[in-house]
Structure 1
Amino acid sequence: MSRRFLQFPAGFLFIRPIRTRTRSIPGRRLLSLQTTTSDPCRQFKDRHQESARRNKAVRCGTDQSPVSKSFRFTASIHSMSSQPVPGAAAAAPKASQTGASGAEASCSTTVGDKTAAAPSAPEPEPKLPPLSAAEYREYNRLAEMMTYFHNHFKQTWNMMYTAAGNNRRPANMSLRQFIDTGLTFVRQLTMHHNIEEELLYPQLAVRMDEFRNQDGKKGGSKPNRKQSELIRQHRLIHEGMDRFEDYLTECRRGQLDFDMATLKTKMDDWNDVLWLHLDAEVETLKAENMRKYWTLSEIRRLQI
């Protein structure tokens, strides 16, 4: 390298020569340039292979990139919130054999099914404040009235059922009086049920399912599934009571000879449902149950 001097009137000026360097290219970059030059599609092939590798790593759970972590976190949230499907465990092997792709089959880790949390127990009903003596009488008014009528029916029924079982009428009661007692029982119980279904039940059915028919009608004359339980019991009672009444009527007219064993058979048909109904109706109308549906002023306005 030679030094050059320029002569100026004020003296000499030294000019530093410009040194040129040969810039070396790294071998990895040079190899990449040579590969790209030799194969123009190589760059796109590399990107495709890198994308396939990344997708496989995400499915297998080995990729640690932020995107794959977010994907796995979202998938785990959906897995935890989903409800287990019955038979899914049995169907899983079939699905893995028939529908698994090559990339899924190469994954070495398997994510187990998350068990759904057990359903929480229903919350208990809030405890109502205690009633005063006057409030209790108001709420229990219908139950007391129903108990009065039902005790009368139970007394008559017990008298006749005991006589039929012992094959002997009560003392100082003729056969005619005994038969008339049974027919009077039928008429009074029929009238009692008619008043309930025409007047009392429609008022209570506004809020209480025990007195409501599912079809919104009166329920018909035969028992069916659309009737409430108390109305269905009415129908079952009247089916047995009709046979009981027919037998006593024929004996009263002299068409059949009266027999205590036959009378007991006619009473056994509906003895259980009669007593079940008489007790269940009173329990439904007691103050502890009525106060759940009605206020004190509403109970006072019920007409009966």
Structure 2
Amino acid sequence: MSDTWRADQDPIPVLVMAEMDHGEVLIVGAGPVGLTLAIDLAWRGINVTVIEKRAAAEPPEPKCNHVAARSMEIFRRLGLAEKVRNAGLPADYPHDISYRTTFTGCELTRIPIPCRRDRFTSKHGPDCNWPTPEPPHRINQIFLEPILFEHAAAQARIHIVNRALVEDVSIDDDSVSVVVRDLETGSARRASYRYLIGCDGARSVVRKAIGAELVGDAIVQRVQSTYIRAPDLIRRQNCERAWGTGVINPRRAGMVYAIDGRERWLIHNYMSPGEIDFEKVDRDACIRTILGVGADFEYDII
């Protein structure tokens, strides 16, 4: 299997195919949930193997953009809260939510939320005075996940196998067996574990294996999301910066999230009821309408 990764690039033991015959717990998926669970189990003295289809250190998609107080409390117990809170947006970047006609247009209202520098000292606003030692934190997954990965990879009880895919799951009374395919070589091997946990997203092979089904509305909102680099966008605002900017106008509604507080942004274009085919929606035109910029504005899609 491919090498596991650490931020300092120090070599650590790598789990290879020959060592995957059996184990205690197998977690499928090394996103924030899978990695946090692996760290928690290792903290409790349990050996864990984590399977992830991406390569080690391959950047995640910018999906998760906020860590709730309860999760921050868990990170505190695991010794990660300070690292997590010191990452993400610049220390003085407001975590506010602003509502505007366009991103560069008139502000309608604002929800003030302290920047991370002032999170423990600010006493004013609806998001202050939380009865917890670890209030929420705005941090995108592209910053959060590497912190969790580095910590997990350094634990002796955690083995992370990258560029691997679980293809088949067989459940018995007291164990579970899986077929794991090495995405680099194409070879496959069956391994057995006492427990199997699926943290592998919406298309989870584990979820399908145990027969878990979605209950409720399958689609709440259809969103065309675009991750962009636009260094000139931040200075075009007519009001104070914000972590999240909700855009409301008769032509197009959406949300713009500041990812690094400088040049990277995540734009959610809220699809209208009649817009079923994503490919038929003019992505560029929608982005410019949400941002409130003309054809001369330059940006790159990441």
Task: State the TM-score bracket (shorter-chain normalisation).
Answer: under 0.3
| Rg (Cα) greater in structure | 1
Whichever structure has more strand as a proportion of its residues is 2
TM-score (norm 1): 0.21
Higher relative contact order (CA 8 A, sep 6+): 2
> Which has a greater percent of helix?
1
